[in-house]
Amino acid sequence: MEFQDVFTDLRKKAGFSQNEVADKLHVTRQAVSRWERGETVPEVETLQALSRLFGVSINTLLGSPRTLVCQSCGMLLSDDFLAREADGNFNEKYCKWCWADGHFTQDCTLEEMVEHCVPLMPLGQTEPEACRAYMRSLLPTLERWK
């Protein structure tokens, strides 16, 4: 899916007309109509406003070109798991368990994060050593631990 399809879908599901979306975002109806015809893609600030309006991440609005992984614990991120900033915008780097209101939810070392994650992993109970080894190799590649 590309932006035009994602946007048109979200707009219709929310029950907004093109005019209503234009009013909410302070853009012209022609601009909205160009997005839906695939002629243009909105600027970053407008994408942010759309993200707030529809409650989906910018990555989702753009048709999910990137696979988002929490840069603190390594979990795969869908919009349901994304952290939010204090102003309500999504933070597309971290999950909501690692980041909230503009800071990390826990101040921990890499090794503490490994111990925190292992019991939550699918094989955490039966293969804790394998999970530990996996997390010890994964975490140093993430932004928080680099």
Among 77, 95, 113, 114, binds Zn ion (CB under 5 A): 95
Smallest separation, CB 31 to Zn ion (Å): 36
Q: How far is CA 113 from CA 61, 109, 118, 123, in A?
A: 31, 6, 9, 16
70 binds Zn ion (CB under 5 A): yes
Residues 6+ apart with CB under 8 A from 42: 3, 27, 31, 35, 50
* Span interacting with Zn ion, options 5-13, 24-32, 93-101, 137-145, rule CB under 5 A: 93-101
Q: Within 4-43, which residues bind Zn ion (CB under 5 A)?
A: none
* Span interacting with Zn ion, options 14-22, 63-71, 103-111, 118-126, rule CB under 5 A: 63-71
* Span interacting with Zn ion, options 37-45, 55-63, 92-100, 115-123, rule CB under 5 A: 92-100
Smallest separation, CB 102 to Zn ion (Å): 15
Residues 101-136 as b/e (b if ≥16 CB within 10 A, e otherwise) read eeeeeeeeeeeebbeebbeebeeeeeeeeebbebbe
Q: Report residue 51 CA to chain centroid gap.
A: 10
Contacts with Zn ion, residue ranges (CB under 5 A): 70, 72-73, 95, 98
